[in-house]
Amino acid sequence: MNLLNAKPYKSCTLCPRKCGINRENNLSGFCKESANLRISTACLHFGEEPPITGKKGSGTIFITGCNLRCAFCQNYQISQCGMGTSVSKETFAQICLKLQEEGAENINIVTGSHAVPSIVEGLLFAKDKGLTIPICWNSSGYETEESIQMLSSVVDIWLPDLKTLNPLISEAIFQAKDYPSVAKKAIRAMIEKAPLIFDENEKMLSGVIIRHLVLPGRMNDTILVLDWLKKHCDGKCCISVMSQYTPVNFSDDKTPSSSEHRKKALEAFPNRFLTTEEFAQIHELITEYEFEYLFYQDLDSDNCKELNADWLPDFKKKQPFSNALAKPVWHWNFGFTN
Ligand code: SF4
């Protein structure tokens, strides 16, 4: 099916939730987004994996809304509270081109699975106007085959999460018991579409980087994920093990039902930083697995706490991140920043 021609928001089955609602005139889907593409922030980001960050930063565009809505999401202001503004395909393209002009190594679209047709349309328009840098799709991995097929016309680099392979945890934290099977299938399809290609400076031009965030108290679930990655993905893509889990205070989410739901969901694991013992275990594990292409965050529980301000963005601000982590280019409230 050509989603661009098929009014995909009329009876939305864009993601595996398959809500079937008409997003032209309501926000009642799980992602709580209408048919309008909304964006919160665009910046040069220096905290992605080295082949994505390169020398000049990744041109990151944070899409408003999310089809997964993890209970612990650090970007909850934009993924769950709707912070952002609608943009036309022309403005979307202008933002991409501005990032390119500022030196971005690539365009890095964050969490856009609920808006694939609009994003593809915007990227095609931007390419028509002179966008030439690689396109990176940065998502939760909760995608349909149709979406991946559609994205493959514009995406060069895939940056999916593999959050868990435990359906009880995926049901508890993001109400998606099918997440493990969907994400495995999506990742396999991405690997098929994008062989690993780097330029002479080790910048990624094509390929897949699979991210796994270690959750506190859930090391057995991490082992399940690493086992699967070793068996099915090692050598064909890069593996990125992240240990920055940070408890969030969710002070901007004033909705009682969502606070109540989140509180219950977060009972699935201890909502704290990783302990020193857990950091040691991660080190042991990644040494044992000997992944061919591996990235991991060399942190411990103390410097994780110190870096708290860096990891937790505030999308109300023109600069949502620390200056060391990002250079803002566009903001939902302020527009272009220079
Ligand atoms: S994109 Fe949104 S409305 Fe569409 S199926 Fe997914 S969660 Fe439901």
The DSSP line for 261-272 is HHHHHGGGS--S
Q: What is the DSSP letter of 17?
A: T
Q: Which two tokens stand for residue 226?
A: 């690493």
Q: Return the residue whose CA atom lies nearest to atom 2 of ligand 1.
A: 31
Tell which atom from ligand 1 comes closest to the C-alpha of 30.
7
Of 230, 210, 209, 211, nearest to 285 by C-alpha is 230
- DSSP state letter for 236: T
CB 73 within 8 A of CB 266: no
* pLDDT score at 1: 45
| Distance from residue 80's CA to the centre of ligand 1 (Å) | 13
Q: Which residues contact 200 (CB under 8 A, 6 or more apart)?
A: none
- The secondary structure of 39-72 as a DSSP string is EEEEEEES-S-HHHHTTT-EEEEEES--SS--TT
For the chain, how far is it from start to end, CA to CA, in angstroms? 41
In ligand 1, the atom with minimum distance to the C-alpha of 113 is 1
Cα within 13 Å of Cα(192), Cβ side: 10
251 C-alpha vs ligand 1 centroid, how far in Å?
26
Phi-psi bin for 314: left (phi > 0), alpha (psi -120 to 50), beta? beta
Q: 162: Cβ–Cβ under 8 A, 6 or more apart, which residues?
A: 141, 183, 184, 187, 210, 211, 212, 225, 228, 229
What's the pLDDT at 307? 62
Pairing of strands 294-296, 326-331: unpaired
- Architecture of the domain made up of 36-336: Alpha-Beta Barrel (3.20)
Q: How far apart are CA 26 and CA 28, in angstroms?
A: 6
**Whole-structure pTM value:** 0.96
R_g of the chain, CA atoms, integer Å: 19
User: Is the CB of 182 inside a 6 Å radius of any atom of ligand 1?
Assistant: no
Residues 6+ apart with CB under 8 A from 214: 222, 241, 242, 243, 245, 274, 278, 282
Q: Ligand 1 center to residue 280 CA distance, Å?
A: 39
Which atom of ligand 1 is nearest the CA belonging to 18? 5
The preferred substitution site among 21, 151, 174 for testing ligand 1, maximizing ligand atoms within 8 Å of CB, is 21
pLDDT tens for the chain, 338 residues long, are 455 556 889 999 999 999 999 999 788 999 999 999 999 999 999 999 999 999 999 999 999 999 999 999 999 999 999 999 999 999 999 999 999 999 999 999 999 999 999 999 999 999 999 999 999 999 999 999 999 999 999 999 999 999 999 999 999 999 999 999 999 999 999 999 999 999 999 999 999 999 999 999 999 999 999 999 999 999 999 999 999 999 999 999 988 888 888 999 999 999 999 999 999 999 999 999 999 999 998 776 676 666 665 568 999 999 999 999 999 999 999 999 98
Tell me the C-alpha distance between 225 and 141, whole Å. 13
- Gap from CA of 62 to ligand 1 centroid (Å): 18
Q: Whose CA is nearest to atom 4 of ligand 1?
A: 12
Q: Is the CB of 31 inside a 6 Å radius of any atom of ligand 1?
A: yes
Token duo for residue 199: 């330029």
Pick the residue whose CA is nearest to atom 6 on ligand 1. 15
Q: Helix or strand or coil: residue 334?
A: coil
Distance CA 150, CA 115 (A): 12
Query: Which has the closest alpha carbon to 226: 275, 271, 291?
Result: 291
For 99-113, what is the HEC assignment?
HHHCCCCCEEEECCH
